[in-house]
Chains A and B, each alone.
Chain A
Amino acid sequence: MLTFYIGGLTIKLVHLIYVSMFAAIMGVLGLLPPIPLGFSPVPITLQTLGVMLAGSILGARLGPKYAALSQVLFLLIVATGMPLLSGGRGGIGVFLTPSAGFLISWIASAYVIGYLCQRLKTVVVWKMLLINLVGGVFVVYLIGVPVQAMMMEIPVTQAAIYSLSFLPGDVLKVVGASFIAVKLYHAAPFMKEARA
């Protein structure tokens, strides 16, 4: 089977296309209408669910580098002008706003989730929950909040307080991603052979 050599990594063509497909799925998830929550002013957008899935599914099977690569690829496509971010945003402009840090954190987020998932001996829902909380929520805010503070030139604590309103939605996405990943682990025979 055809292989490439990328950054010291041997990559099969089919794996490269898996990464492309995940980037496309990220785009589709961003276009779905957000789910409003009764107790929070911020509705749930499904895009970051895609980040968690990239780590939990792609990263768990092929490795964390592939999960991170899918996010790099998605952000490159957004930069070309496709309105794939939630609310129909796209273009280079989205990287010049204070939210840019959260976008870039998706790369690290997918990598961390993929790295931890790959090391799992047994795939159980509660372990997936913990992994997605660390990678999908903690890492994202760890990177996004300081960048937001820096670009708006306000204190980090102020930016952190503002970000709290997104927390309930993110936690719910962690639950959703974990259940989907576990279901797919047992249901999808395709990618099992792919690692070989």
Chain B
Amino acid sequence: MNQSLIIGQYVPGESVVHKIDPRLKLIIIFIFVIAVFMANNIWSYVSLYFFVFASVALSRIPVAYIFKGLKPVWWIIIITFMFHLFINSGGNVIVSFLGINVYEQGVFQGASIATRFFLLIILATLLTLSTTPIAVTDAVEALLKPLKKVRFPVHEIALMMSISLRFIPTFMQEMDKISKAQAARGLDYTKGKLKDRFKALLPLLIPLLISSFKRAEDLALAMEARGYQGEEGRTKLRQLSFSKIDYIVIISLIVFLVSFYMIRV
């Protein structure tokens, strides 16, 4: 199995985009989602394209990585576009072909929705490629902190995320070992009749589940033995802090949003 999974899809780099505080990146994504659904004319979409492609250029991440993030979504974008082309019946007929009419409104609507998915996926992929999962976890914990006032378990969620992230590679290795052990005993869930493959899955999944229960109990004991007693009184090894780059980004973002608001009519 792929060992590089430990750092997720992160592409190491020293670009401006890499150095932005992860909390700010998450906030930008959420603002952008709102903006994309507020766009309602050609120029507002053009400004959004500008924002996204400027971000990509600044990140200095190869374009091939960006488009890899789009791969699972291409067919959805195309299907949606095609569907609106043939269903929407507002405005004038542009093309008439074999009894099927393509209307003005259908083209605009299809293009609008396709654009939304396109831009959102690119920006989200950029976040994923320029930020490590651990950094995003820290950012999520920081941004959820206000929810503690309504008793949301912020610390516990962050703890569970860290534990899960830590154990995914371990379980991948374990699955690999069990898989090879079972193959040595003649079982292979990727070949043969359907019934045989399902039978071969049992000796793969059951040991994995049982060993995960054991690990959970061992880990709980170890944590308590090391003095863990909840969030109270804890300090943080990794600290997030804003830098000069973040303030420049904030100012640029405000300028962009004001321009966008004036453009959209």
Contacts and interface: CB of A to CB of B under 8 A. Distances in A.
A166 interface: no
B133 A81 contact: yes
Interface stretch (A91-99, A106-114, A120-128, A132-140): A91-99
B79 interface: yes
A97 B80 CA distance: 11
B9 to A, nearest CB: 5
Given A81-B10, A82-B133, A180 B205 contact: yes
Interface of B is mostly: helix
A195 B230 CA distance: 21
A91 B68 CA distance: 12
Interface in A53-99: 53, 57, 73-74, 76-77, 79-84, 87, 89-93, 96-99
Given A91-B69, A91-B127, A24 B175 contact: no
B210 interface: yes
Contacts of B133: 77, 80-82
Contact of A18 (B5, B131, B216): B216
A129 interface: no
Interface string A167-179: 0000010011001
B261 interface: no
A82 B76 contact: no
From B73, B127, B163, B213, residue with most partner A Cβ within 10 Å: B213
Contact of A188 (B117, B129, B210, B223): B210
B124 A190 contact: no
Interface residues of A, number: 65
B55 interface: no
A176 B230 contact: no
Contacts of A160: none
B22 to A, nearest CB: 10
A142 interface: no
A1 B128 CA distance: 38
A4 B197 contact: no
Interface in B164-207: 164-165, 167-168, 170-172, 175, 189-190, 194, 197-198, 201-202, 205-206
A87 B159 CA distance: 27
A90 to B, nearest CB: 6
Interface in B88-134: 109, 113, 117, 120-121, 124-125, 127-129, 131-134
A191 B83 CA distance: 50
B172 A28 contact: yes
A153 B73 contact: no
A73 B125 contact: no
Interface string B139-153: 010000000000111
Q: From B152, B168, B190, B217, name the one whose CB has the most chain A CB atoms within 10 angstroms.
A: B168
Nearest to B223: A13
